């Protein structure tokens, strides 16, 4: 199979090294824009599953190794290798179907955490998506899926019921607990090393919690180790519906002066309760807020900027990927 025959076989774009648009095709959608000094020989921006089959068949016929770009956040850019063929899934986006009555959905690989919730929440449904809103489903699921509300819903990959994929032999198959279970087992955590190209994900959905409330506290950077030990000690007494997290972040505007000695860095601790009533959410958070670490002193309430606010402390720095309703947040200044 030649490059010309691959171009004739594909509805999507086939760009080879030396083509005018090659650099943009190879580096498109690299989320952190850290571009290594390596590139594939060919990029296939597929338009459908048939294009994936054609790309894999071409790679096999020409002895090329294959990597797949699925919209995850990986600092070292594993989708860029020296030589070989890159399959870019960026046009395989959107929902295939939603069955609200049965709480099931089928999606293509390039649907963001944010867009999954936007489609499901108006139907009273939710899914354990990731915290960063623009991460796409394929990169998220293949990485295992560190999710919102994990102690109740589990990881995102645990709410997968099946996948559809193209194998290294160019065959289209379905994998689940009962069909091709080895592929299904590997897909839920294999990351960029997965030995197939997933084109559809079959999701098990959950009821949308009606009250998602949170509490956020900030501490001086030097206090982060002690705060972490304190969180570990109290975590077992906190309701499973509460997600506790600790981050090192740049201070918000109101606290920049207090963090000036640490170049603007603070320790941030968040607790988010996923419940069905405000009263239940308050009760779930109370053991944590009542036992706030002793070094915190001053506090002032503030409202969340949006109805689905959930800040990702990573470099994406966006809001709005979490499921559900308006959160109530309390910000505690660093201890003095």
Quick: pLDDT tens for 259-276: 999 999 999 999 999 999
Residue 326's pLDDT is 41
Which tokens belong to 321?
């990927």
Please state the length of the chain. Answer: 336
Please determine, for residue 237, whether its predicted confidence score (pLDDT) is greater than 90.
no
Residue that wins the pLDDT comparison between 97 and 297: 97
Beta strands (DSSP E) in 46-136 are 66-69, 85-88, 95-99, 104-107, 125-126
Residue 23's pLDDT is 83
What's the mean per-residue pLDDT of the chain? 84
pLDDT digits (tens, 9 = 90+) for 94-116: 999 999 999 999 999 999 999 99
Residue 255's pLDDT is 93
Please determine, for residue 202, whether its predicted confidence score (pLDDT) is greater than 60.
yes
pLDDT band at 287 (very low <50, low <70, confident <90, very high): confident
What is the Cα–Cα distance from 230 to 232, expressed in whole angstroms?
5
Q: What Cα–Cα distance (Å) separates residue 245 from each residue in 53, 73, 114?
A: 42, 19, 20
Per residue in 264-303, is it b (16+ CB within 10 Å) or e — as a string? bebbbbbbbbbbeeeebbbebbeebeeebbeebeeeeeee
Residues 6+ positions from 165 with CB-CB distance below 8 Å: 172, 173, 174, 175, 183, 187, 196, 197, 198, 199
Three-state SS at 61 = helix
pTM as predicted: 0.83
Please determine, for residue 300, whether its predicted confidence score (pLDDT) is greater than 70.
no
For residue 287, the surrounding DSSP H or E stretch is helix 278-290
- Residues 134-153: what's their mean pLDDT? 89
pLDDT digits (tens, 9 = 90+) for 5-51: 999 999 999 999 989 998 888 887 666 666 767 789 999 999 999 99
Sign of CA dihedral 249, 250, 256, 261: positive
Residue 25's pLDDT is 81
**Order of strands across the sheet that contains 66-69:** 13-16, 42-45, 85-88, 66-69
Please determine, for residue 80, whether its predicted confidence score (pLDDT) is greater than 80.
no
Residues 6+ positions from 66 with CB-CB distance below 8 Å: 55, 56, 59, 84, 85, 86, 87, 168, 197
77-86, 226-235, 260-269, 295-304, range with the lowest pLDDT: 295-304
> Do 31 and 24 touch, CB atoms closer than 8 A?
no
């Amino acid at each position: 199979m030649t490059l010309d025959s691959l171009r004739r076989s594909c509805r999507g774009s086939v760009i080879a090294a030396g083509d005018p648009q090659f650099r943009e095709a190879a580096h498109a959608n690299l989320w952190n824009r850290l571009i290594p000094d390596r590139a594939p020989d060919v990029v296939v921006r597929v338009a459908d599953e048939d294009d994936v089959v054609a790309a894999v068949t071409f790679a096999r016929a020409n002895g090329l190794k294959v990597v797949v770009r699925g919209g995850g956040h990986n600092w070292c850019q594993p989708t860029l290798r020296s030589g070989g063929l890159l399959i870019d899934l960026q046009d395989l986006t959107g929902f295939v179907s939603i069955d609200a009555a049965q709480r099931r959905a089928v999606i293509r690989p390039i649907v963001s955490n944010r867009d999954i919730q936007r489609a499901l929440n108006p139907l009273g449904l939710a899914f354990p998506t990731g915290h960063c809103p623009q991460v796409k489903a394929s990169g998220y699921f293949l990485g295992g899926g560190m999710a919102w509300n994990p102690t109740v819903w589990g990881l995102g990959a645990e709410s997968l019921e099946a996948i559809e994929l193209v194998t290294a032999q160019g065959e289209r198959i379905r994998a689940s607990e009962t069909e091709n279970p080895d592929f299904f087992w590997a897909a839920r955590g294999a990351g960029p090393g997965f030995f197939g190209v997933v084109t559809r994900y079959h999701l098990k959905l959950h009821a949308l919690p009606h009250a998602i409330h949170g509490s956020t506290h900030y501490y001086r950077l030097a206090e982060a180790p002690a705060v972490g030990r304190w969180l570990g000690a109290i975590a077992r007494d906190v309701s499973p519906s509460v997600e506790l997290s600790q981050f090192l972040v740049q201070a918000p505007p109101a606290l920049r002066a207090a963090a000036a000695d640490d170049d603007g860095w603070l320790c941030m601790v968040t607790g988010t309760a996923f419940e069905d009533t405000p009263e239940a959410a308050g009760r779930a958070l109370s053991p944590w807020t009542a036992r706030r670490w002793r070094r915190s002193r001053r506090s002032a309430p503030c409202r969340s900027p949006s109805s689905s606010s959930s800040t990702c402390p990573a470099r994406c720095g966006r809001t709005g990927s979490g499921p559900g309703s308006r959160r109530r947040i309390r910000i505690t200044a660093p201890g003095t």
